[in-house]
Amino acid sequence: MKNNIKVWMLLLLATLWSGWLWASDGHHGHGGHGEHVMHGAGSSVGGHTGETYRVTPTLPEVIAPGQPWSLVFDITETTGQPVDRFDVVHEELLHLIVVSADLGYYDHIHPEHLGKGRFAVTTSLPAAGSYSFFCDYQPAGKRGQVSLFTVQVPGTPAPVPPPSTASTQVQGDTLVTMQTEPAVVQAGKNTIFRFALAQASDRTPIDDLKPYLGEMGHLVIVRQTAPLTVDEYIHTHAMPSTDTSTVPFAAVLPQSGWYRLFAQFNRNGTILTASFWLQVE
């Protein structure tokens, strides 16, 4: 009973806090269907069409593992009209989240807006396989949007290790421990995710956590499916906390299955990304 009250207090806190809904607002319920266009020699492109917006990437002929390449993509309305103005959300016009099909690889980058909805960035992908690029943005005055395209790196992908349910990991000199409340996460129920950060060498709680893109932490959650769609993508932000070494988030995971959680924190200028597998019942 006491625990229930605690959970409800946290839920209330989460709901009252204006920032946390940024992720879920507009990131679900995209009714459109992906379209698939062959583009270049070894690269196939699936452009996701949302209700009113779409992304169209322009890719090089060949993308080689570990080699830098230039990515250009255009955000337009489905009428073809370029989206010229974007609201700044978390200090950027567009957040590009890159996830491999096996959910083993994660990147979070900020392409430059060249104007008229065209974005460009030089990036690289580590190995053969399929990668989903989630474009997270907000056309000026409109709802937040997520548009998706996929990129193939030619070759045979390495075998995928089975999901590990380890709740601790070391990233650089930081030990990250994830705890959920409730401990067994159920589909459709609000869940609190707590990330405790400690010095890896002696396990003392850290005291140098700084805001990253305006929040004490960013959490991207992707459900394991093939292929990934925008419905598998959740981006949420740290809830207020008085504890300087533990960062709480709240999210509802819509379906049972395996999920990968990518949590990003800023330790005094160094960004660390911790990723965890989670089974939802």
Q: Binding residues for Cu ion, how many (CB under 5 A)?
A: 1
Q: Which is nearer to Cu ion, 185 or 238 (CB)?
A: 238
Q: Among residues 135 and 239, whose Cβ is nearest to Cu ion?
A: 135
Residues 222-241 that bind Cu ion (CB under 5 A): none
With CB under 5 A as the contact rule, which of the stretches 16-24, 91-99, 151-159, 231-239 interacts with Cu ion?
91-99
C-alpha dist (Å) from residue 46 to 49, 222, 276: 9, 18, 27
Angle at 211 between CA 197 and CA 24, to 5 degrees: 90
Nearer to Cu ion, 64 or 98 (CB): 98
Distance of alpha carbon 114 from the chain centroid = 23
At closest approach, how far in Å is the CB of 17 from Cu ion? 20
In contact, 134 and 47? CB cutoff 8 Å? no
Is residue 260 involved in binding Cu ion (CB under 5 A)?
Answer: no
Nearer to Cu ion, 27 or 95 (CB): 95
Nearer to Cu ion, 48 or 95 (CB): 95
The CB-of-91 to Cu ion minimum distance in angstroms stands at 8
What single-letter amino acid sits at 7?
A: V
State the greatest distance between any 2 C-alpha atoms of the chain, in Å, as a whole number.
Answer: 60
95 contributes a contact to Cu ion by CB under 5 A: yes
Instruction: Write down the least CB distance from residue 95 to Cu ion, Å.
Output: 3
DSSP state of 19: G
**What distance in Å separates the CA atoms of residue 96 and residue 147, rounded to the nearest whole number?**
10
**What's the rounded Cα separation, in Å, for the pair 84 and 63?**
29
User: Using CB under 5 A as the criterion, which residues of the chain lie in contact with Cu ion when the complex forms?
Assistant: 95
